[in-house]
Chains A and B, each alone.
Chain A
Amino acid sequence: MSPGWGRITALARKDAAELLRNPGAIVPPLLMALGALFPGFLVIIGAPMFAGRTLEESGDFNEAVDVIATMPELVGLTGNALIQAFLFHQFALLLLMVPVVSATALATHAVIGEKQSKALEPLLATPISTVELLAAKALTPFLFALALTWGTAALYILGSLLLGEPGVWQTALGPRTFVLFVMVGPLIELATLLVSVVVSSRANDPRSAQQLTSLLILPITAVFIAQLMGAFVIPVAALLLAALGLLIMNALLLVIGVRVFQRETILTRWR
């Protein structure tokens, strides 16, 4: 193991041990995961159950059925299964809030926790470079948020297998889901992490930093609502374009993050 990687993992392991002992950091991401999972199942499974008729029988989707039947992921499905699969795809976007909220909660605690305990100065007196410090501060929140996002996505697909019509869950294994959770999700998470780190450098408590960073949820919410209103699912090409945009955004945020993580800046300007 290279000395630099050794220092990054040493600090990341420390952060992980601290986070696991900090309910204030861990509970919000877990609640967000639950909160993102349930609305889909409530609408797709719960509501028809309580109403005593299937989504197809409700007639609410009559106009959309012809359009959504042409979606590549849903080809071959008909009737209630088609509508369920369509809605599962729409609600999958909500799961992107999990990496945003998780990364925000964990990264702000990881940075502001150091400030509050006044642990940064002795830390900066070690041979750790500022880039290593930035990487270490991002690594634990990144891995934790990614695990939670993928875990939530796995539960979502498992739920659609157990509760959905036959054939519905397989539609979640296409390229759209792959791009959403393997490309867009981690890139949103990284952007959130970097924004959280930059905001945390100027904030004194995790909550005020989280309030600012949580604004990143707005675009996701807007797209989700647009999907519901327009009865469409974002195509794979649009998701790839979003991933490219996020990649550029992350590069810019990384430059800002590295500047914020200069020893002198941390000691003299962080408040």
Chain B
Amino acid sequence: MSERLKHIEKMLMEISAGNFFYRVERSVKNDNVEALVVVLNMMAEEIQESMVHQGYVQAHGTIKHIVQMSFILDAKGDIEATNQATCSILSTLYSEIIGKPFAVFLDESSKVKWKNTWKILKQKDIYETSVELAFKTKGNLVVPSACYITTFKGEHFEQKKTLVTVVHHSNDRDRLEKDLKRSVIKSKTKKKGEKKHSKKPKIRLNHEDIRKLSKGRDIIINNLEKDFPSLKDFALQIGTNEFKLKYGFKELYGTSVYRFLKNERLRKSKMLVQHTDLHIKTIAHMTGFKSLPHFSRSFKKRYGYTPSALRKKPL
């Protein structure tokens, strides 16, 4: 069997064992095997996310941090200590990790990234950063990860040490929103949404229900600018009833129909406010808001700043 097919086989084994965070390393080829690798990697990514969500499909976000590796590096960048999960994730023995340069366990492009990060880190007395690095396992699978790098110094260490913490699940979209919010308003008040967990027993949705609900979701996204019908009419339109629509939508997408609609309207309007010169009133109408004040209020409630504040932000 060719080397590439062996990697695919290994990856399928890992998926079967419930390890969705491995990837097959990409080559420069453009053939059918490579296409299979592309689909396999993306499939693992999708499963990985839906497993974490426990039922919500395509909810773009809300991921918790789960799998972790950590490394303590000495002043030369060699690994001085690591945790047990590292050995199993990289399928490498503890003794094969300790004393090795950290870069040994990275793929080619990450080696370059790490070299640059290390260079900056060496120049600073104390330093903290995060960088996306891809680790390579002994079986040549790739584990792309978000890494947090911290240097620290203690009274008893004569040399500076570096801690690398590897987090497998973080949420880009939340980060983007937070960054933007920070740059629009400088106040430090933060409010966090509380999550409520329903204790009602779950009703199972069948494939037909899920297909109808996902059609409903597509209809919402495609008609943001139009008036939204009553839930009863909307349910009829997609061939279900109001109860199943309300209950199922929440189960599947983790939010109510109206909240989903509002969020999608706001998401679109935010892009238009931020990246175009269109009048804010025009944007409000394009995204289904009845009046400018209503739009501004909803926008502020969702993002913490008004559309005009976002527009005035210097680029």
Are A and B part of the same complex?
no
| Interface of B toward A, CB cutoff 8 Å | none
